[in-house]
């Protein structure tokens, strides 16, 4: 007996009684037909052809409309079963129920039913008056009747209609323009990925009664593929007699282009012809500029042609007076950064000049070949453009195109191979700037454009120390390096690129974080997007941590973005031998290799073939690739992870921060990964949150081998509820004798909601023993919300015995102990003996009042509480009715600089007067933040506000009295009295309004 609640108006139950186990599928279908169709016909007057019924993923009725039996509606399709087959024995395993299911509460399988819908498609003239080239015999009276399958409680979509039209007419869907209800239905585009799907605009079944719906169609006669300098390609349907400016408007309206700019682009054909003309350009001095009012046919646009869209203005480099008037002088080569805007102009130069001037390849093997813009390398650009245009001034290209008064100090250093296409290089820089949300004025140091190609010897300071080279100085002054990789990773075979890697990884003396990003363009024709005329894809980069487009610091978004990075480049990096790199001049190769090994020999001296410095640099780069691509390889089901583990284990890395959240593949890889960690590590951070499949922590065996580790962060938040044992991990932590910082986030780890209050949880006895061995530990964070713990005696004894502990963070809630609050009492009493603490953060959520009072009464009896400088207490939702005990303890915290207390949702709390009494002893306090949100009984804070007069050194004040009985004017008066002395004020009054004040000169 099965029940079905229908999705039509009202509910319908369909009862199928199957008295015999050998009932056939045909009998079930007939029963559904007999019982269901009469119900449906109450709502729909006419069923077209044959109704399709899907039951538990099995199609019981074949639709005659789809090719090879496939339904037109995009549903999951399973092979149709023969009517004579037996319902239970033959198909029971495929249906969403079992043979023994008899009770209604065991689940209700769904019956899905569909019906054919007729659509009248009227072919009309295009808005431009251009009739499409169609076969008149196909249409009678210019009306085509199509039939699609309609789900009764869902909708049909325009992609279904276009697929049917394509089947009937063999027309290209790109050229179709369908209008529904007066609205044009266009192609769907995405900012970061171009798809060929049609916009899923719904075509609703009108009232479930009227089946004939009229769509209007006109045909475009051209499809133009627009390619941006960021190497993103998207199609635009147009008419040959459309104006050029109409194509510009369509590009700007496209979602992909909006991701770059709202400006109208400059359009260049693949043969170098510029078809738009910059706004305000002088057509007399630039005769090749076409009028924007010309038609596409007049400027040479044809079907399926490629049009490059750029934002650069191609007028400066063609102006004959430019060389005399333009440019600047930048004496120091390391300060000559080229902006993204100038790179775009350079790319536009290639697009326009390459064909028109007949550039030929400089490659000896292709010397007679004419180049296309996509093939122009930096070697070619040097010969045909850079050197000739800078010859008169004998300067670098950056100095030639720079403008007086503009500072172009580089922010990023670029390492790349001259033999890659320049347009590919610009595309990678564009994507890097987009990912990191950098403005178009960002400058990159690129040797080809920064150095004076007419006097390289003096620019490179030949004969001097390598620290005098502009390469060295530029890397020291920038905040990161962008490595642009060609498809074959030839960059690792070029000695100057090796030198740049050496400077970044081994010889950089700058302080602070230095980003190292690697970008490339995948070149795989088999994976090329449908409809894209080029084999290249959008650039993708392995970045040094999450970037702006990932929503920092979202590591999950980072690996999703990096998932298309070619694994073959990573595999190639594992075999590289940088000492084998080549150079155009053998003298350069000798100089660089001798520099790497620290030799004082002359440039002409032949370097040794083997040296530990070479191995160190090789291992460093391999480790970088392994670190950045490890998860990507796992998610892509890489069959052999051994090269990644080997590269990681041999890398001389000191810091490793990796994210494996929601990574099922990693759960079976934990042990191998831990054993592959390099022994040189000093800092390790692993995010394993939301790994519901991680049931054992035995894989952490071997973590204790990292004897140099000083900082360890492990995040197991929301891991498997079936996790039962952490003893292996606790034991390994105890072996890390040099540890200075330890953070364990076990929030809701192994805590099933069905766990009974009396059931035992995790033992932290071993963790307590391990902490006793960490005599150098300075920072400890234990985040144990909803992490059921047992036997806390050893832990409560270990924490006070940490002689150097200066910062402590503890997060607990009632679920951490179940109903065994005596365990919390033991822990709280143990914390009262902590010494040398300077920064303390405690979170207690949903604890009963007795536990809070124990904390207030015992924890603040610490011998050195008077030396505490920062205190953050989160006591929300604890049913607290008085903070007298806490306030009494705070009177001893005389050196407190920062005090933050969260008392929100303590509905029984009616006064803060006791807290105000403690202000008299906090004369050094600089920051105070009190959150009393939703403390409904709180109404009078006059005494509290009056006692704030003792806080003479207070600079930052935050008060939240939202949803309390406190008068709004009272809160505002508190803020106004303190404004002249405070640097920052933020208050929330009872109605939820927020007021802020920054500095004495600003207004609220």
Looking at residue 524, its pLDDT comes to: 59
Of the CA atoms within 13 Å of residue 620, those in its CB half-sphere come to 18
Q: How far apart are CA 87 and CA 933, in angstroms?
A: 61
Q: Strands 443-445 and 515-520, how do they pair? A: unpaired
Alpha helices in 265-414 (DSSP H): 322-325, 340-356, 378-381, 387-390, 397-401
pLDDT band at 901 (very low <50, low <70, confident <90, very high): very high
pLDDT at 124 over 80: no
Greatest Cα pair distance in the chain: 98
Looking at residue 814, its pLDDT comes to: 75
Q: How far apart are CA 619 and CA 631, in angstroms?
A: 19
Q: What is the mean pLDDT of residues 447-451?
A: 94
pLDDT at 358 over 50: yes
pLDDT at 955 over 80: yes
Looking at residue 195, its pLDDT comes to: 33
- Token code pair at residue 466: 């390598």
As a whole-number percent, the residues of the chain with pLDDT over 90 amount to: 19
- The dihedral over CA atoms of 875, 881, 885, 887, expressed in degrees to the nearest 10, equals 70
Looking at residue 530, its pLDDT comes to: 43
Looking at residue 680, its pLDDT comes to: 93
Looking at residue 628, its pLDDT comes to: 84
- The dihedral over CA atoms of 128, 131, 134, 135, expressed in degrees to the nearest 10, equals 170
Lay out the sheet containing 443-445: strands in order across: 338-339, 443-445, 412-415, 480-485, 515-520, 540-542
Looking at residue 279, its pLDDT comes to: 38
Instruction: Report DSSP state, residue 187.
Output: B
Residues paired with residue 958 on neighbouring β-strands, in sequence order: 929, 986
The sign of the torsion formed by the CA atoms of 835, 840, 841, 845 equals positive
Q: How far apart are CA 60 and CA 82, in angstroms?
A: 9
The sign of the torsion formed by the CA atoms of 145, 148, 150, 155 equals negative
* Angle, in degrees to the nearest 10, between helices 422-435 and 340-356: 160
**Beta carbons of 529 and 483 less than 8 angstroms apart:** no
Q: What is the mean pLDDT of residues 159-180?
A: 71
The sign of the torsion formed by the CA atoms of 408, 412, 418, 424 equals negative
Alpha helices in 506-611 (DSSP H): 555-562, 567-573, 586-596
Instruction: Report DSSP state, residue 298.
Output: T
pLDDT band at 794 (very low <50, low <70, confident <90, very high): confident
Q: What is the mean pLDDT of the chain?
A: 76
Looking at residue 565, its pLDDT comes to: 87
Looking at residue 526, its pLDDT comes to: 46
Q: Tell which wins on pLDDT, 362 or 32.
A: 362
Residues paired with residue 415 on neighbouring β-strands, in sequence order: 483
Q: How far apart are CA 18 and CA 27, in angstroms?
A: 9
Range in 16-20, 322-326, 410-414, 417-421 the model is least confident about: 322-326
pLDDT band at 150 (very low <50, low <70, confident <90, very high): low
Q: Count of residues for the chain? A: 1004
Q: At which residue do the structure tokens 């002395």 appear?
A: 981
pLDDT at 88 over 70: no
Looking at residue 414, its pLDDT comes to: 93
**Beta carbons of 642 and 571 less than 8 angstroms apart:** no
The sign of the torsion formed by the CA atoms of 509, 512, 513, 519 equals negative
Looking at residue 127, its pLDDT comes to: 53
- Token code pair at residue 486: 């060609």
Range in 242-256, 377-391, 906-920, 943-957 the model is least confident about: 242-256
For residue 444, CA distances in Å to 324, 337, 630, 685 come to 26, 5, 29, 31
pLDDT band at 711 (very low <50, low <70, confident <90, very high): very high
Highest mean pLDDT (candidates 94-98, 186-190, 508-512, 712-716): 712-716
* Residues ≥6 apart with Cβ < 8 Å to 358: 370
Q: Tell which wins on pLDDT, 162 or 207.
A: 162
Closest CA to 669 of 702, 706, 694: 694
pLDDT at 366 over 70: yes
Helix (H) or strand (E) holding 823: helix 821-831
pLDDT at 591 over 70: yes
Q: How far apart are CA 617 and CA 751, in angstroms?
A: 45
Instruction: Report DSSP state, residue 383.
Output: I
Looking at residue 184, its pLDDT comes to: 64
Closest CA to 666 of 647, 643, 694, 639: 694
Looking at residue 550, its pLDDT comes to: 86
Q: How far apart are CA 329 and CA 394, in angstroms?
A: 11
pLDDT at 828 over 80: no
Tens digits of per-residue pLDDT, 254-285?
A: 777 766 667 788 888 877 788 876 433 333 33
Looking at residue 21, its pLDDT comes to: 66
Q: Tell which wins on pLDDT, 858 or 190.
A: 858
Range in 115-129, 288-302, 412-426, 650-664 the model is least confident about: 115-129
Q: How far apart are CA 105 and CA 101, in angstroms?
A: 9
pLDDT at 103 over 50: no
Looking at residue 777, its pLDDT comes to: 95
Looking at residue 384, its pLDDT comes to: 92
pLDDT at 45 over 70: no
Looking at residue 625, its pLDDT comes to: 84
pLDDT at 586 over 60: yes
Burial of 416 (0-12, 13-18, 19+ CB in 10 A): buried
Tens digits of per-residue pLDDT, 636-690?
A: 777 788 999 999 999 998 999 888 888 888 988 899 999 999 999 999 999 998 8
Q: What is the mean pLDDT of residues 617-625?
A: 86
Looking at residue 194, its pLDDT comes to: 32
């Amino acid at each position: 007996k099965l029940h079905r609640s229908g999705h039509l108006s009202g509910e319908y139950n369909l009862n199928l009684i199957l008295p015999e186990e050998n009932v056939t599928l045909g009998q079930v279908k007939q029963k559904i037909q007999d019982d269901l169709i009469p119900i449906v016909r109450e709502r729909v007057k006419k069923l077209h052809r044959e109704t399709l019924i899907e039951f538990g993923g099995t199609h019981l009725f074949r639709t005659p409309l789809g090719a090879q039996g496939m339904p037109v509606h995009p549903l999951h399709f399973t092979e149709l079963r023969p009517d004579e087959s037996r319902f239970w024995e033959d198909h029971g395993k495929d249906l969403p129920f079992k043979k023994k299911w008899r009770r209604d509460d065991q689940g209700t399988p769904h019956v899905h039913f569909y019906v054919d819908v007729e659509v009248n498609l009227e072919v009309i003239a295009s808005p431009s008056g251009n009739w499409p080239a169609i076969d008149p015999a196909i249409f009678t009276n210019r009306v085509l009747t199509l039939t699609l399958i309609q789900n009764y409680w869902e909708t049909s979509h325009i992609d279904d209609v276009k697929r049917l039209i394509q089947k009937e007419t063999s027309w290209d869907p790109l050229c179709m323009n369908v209008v529904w209800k007066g609205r044009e239905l266009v192609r769907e585009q995405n900012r970061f990925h171009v798809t060929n799907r049609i916009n899923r605009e719904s075509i609703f079944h009108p009232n479930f009664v009227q089946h004939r719906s009229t769509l209007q169609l006109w045909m475009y006669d051209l499809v133009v593929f627009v390619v941006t300098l960021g190497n993103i390609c998207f199609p635009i349907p147009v008419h040959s007699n459309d104006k050029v400016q109409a194509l510009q408007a369509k590009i700007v309206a496209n979602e992909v282009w909006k991701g770059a700019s709202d400006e109208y682009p400059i359009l260049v054909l693949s043969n170098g012809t510029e078809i738009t003309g910059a706004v305000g350009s002088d057509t007399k001095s630039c005769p090749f500029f076409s009028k924007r009012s010309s038609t596409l046919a007049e400027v040479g646009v044809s079907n399926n042609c490629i049009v490059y869209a750029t934002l650069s203005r191609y007028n400066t480099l063609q102006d004959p007076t430019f060389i005399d008037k333009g440019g600047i002088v930048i004496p120091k080569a390391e300060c000559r950064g080229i902006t993204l805007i100038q790179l775009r102009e350079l790319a536009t130069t290639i697009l326009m000049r390459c064909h028109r001037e007949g550039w030929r390849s400089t490659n000896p093997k292709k010397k007679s070949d004419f180049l296309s813009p996509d093939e122009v390398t930096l070697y070619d650009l040097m010969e045909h453009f850079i050197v000739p245009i800078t010859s008169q001034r004998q300067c670098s290209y950056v100095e030639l195109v720079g403008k007086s008064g503009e500072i172009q100090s580089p922010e990023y250093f670029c390492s790349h191979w001259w033999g890659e296409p320049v347009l590919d290089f610009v595309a990678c820089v564009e994507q890097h700037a987009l990912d990191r949300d950098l403005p178009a004025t960002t400058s990159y140091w690129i040797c080809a454009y920064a150095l004076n190609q007419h006097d390289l010897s003096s620019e490179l300071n030949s004969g001097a120390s390598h620290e005098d080279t502009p390469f060295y100085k530029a890397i020291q002054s920038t905040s990161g390096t962008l490595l642009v990789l060609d498809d074959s990773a030839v960059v690792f075979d070029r000695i100057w690129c090796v030198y740049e890697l050496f400077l970044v990884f081994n010889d950089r003396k700058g302080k602070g974080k230095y980003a190292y990003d690697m970008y490339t363009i995948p070149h795989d024709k088999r994976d090329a997007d449908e409809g894209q005329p080029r084999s290249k894809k959008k650039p993708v980069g392995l970045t040094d941590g999450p970037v702006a487009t990932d929503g920092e610091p979202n590591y999950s978004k980072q690996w999703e973005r990096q998932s298309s990075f070619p694994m073959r480049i990573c595999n190639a990096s594992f075999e590289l031998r940088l000492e084998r790199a080549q150079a155009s001049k053998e003298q350069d190769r000798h100089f660089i290799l001798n520099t790497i090994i620290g030799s004082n020999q002359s440039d002409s001296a032949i370097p040794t073939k083997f040296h530990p410095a070479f191995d160190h640099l090789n291992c460093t780069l391999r480790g970088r690739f392994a670190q950045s691509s490890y998860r990507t390889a796992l998610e892509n089901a890489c069959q052999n992870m051994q090269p990644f583990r080997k590269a990681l284990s041999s890398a001389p890395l000191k810091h490793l921060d990796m994210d494996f959240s929601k990574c099922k593949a990693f759960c079976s890889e934990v042990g191998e990964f831990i054993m592959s960690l390099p022994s040189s590590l000093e800092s390790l951070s692993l995010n394993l949150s939301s790994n519901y499949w991680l049931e054992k922590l035995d894989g952490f065996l071997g973590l204790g081998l990292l004897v140099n580790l000083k900082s360890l962060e492990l995040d197991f938040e929301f891991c498997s509820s079936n996790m039962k044992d952490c003893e292996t991990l606790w034991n390994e932590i105890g072996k890390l004798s040099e540890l200075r910082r330890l953070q364990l986030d076990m929030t809701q780890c192994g805590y099933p909601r069905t766990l009974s209050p009396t059931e035992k949880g995790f033992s932290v006895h071993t963790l307590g023993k391990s902490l006793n061995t960490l005599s150098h530990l300075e920072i400890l964070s234990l985040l144990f919300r909803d992490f059921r713990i047992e036997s806390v005696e050893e832990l409560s004894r270990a924490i006070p015995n940490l002689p150097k502990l200066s910062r402590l963070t503890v997060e607990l809630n009632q679920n951490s102990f179940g109903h065994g609050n005596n365990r919390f009492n033991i822990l709280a009493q143990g914390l009262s003996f902590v010494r040398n603490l300077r920064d303390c953060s405690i979170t207690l959520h949903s604890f009963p009042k007795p536990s809070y009072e124990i904390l207030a009464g015992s924890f603040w009896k610490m011998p050195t509480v008077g030396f505490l400088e920062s205190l953050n207490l989160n006591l929300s939702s604890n049913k607290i009715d008085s903070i007298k005990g806490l306030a009494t303890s705070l009177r001893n915290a005389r050196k407190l600089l920062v005090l933050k207390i969260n008392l929100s949702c303590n509905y029984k709390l009616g006064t803060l007067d006791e807290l105000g009494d403690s202000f008299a002893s906090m004369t050094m306090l600089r920051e105070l933040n009190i959150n009393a949100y939703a403390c409904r009984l709180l109404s009078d804070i006059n005494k509290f506000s009056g006692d704030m007069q003792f806080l003479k050194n207070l600079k930052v004040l935050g008060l939240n009295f939202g949803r309390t009985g406190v008068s709004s004017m009272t809160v505002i008066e508190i803020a106004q009295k303190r404004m002249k002395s405070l640097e920052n004020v933020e208050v929330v009054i009872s109605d939820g309004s927020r007021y802020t004040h920054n500095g004495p000169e600003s207004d609220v």
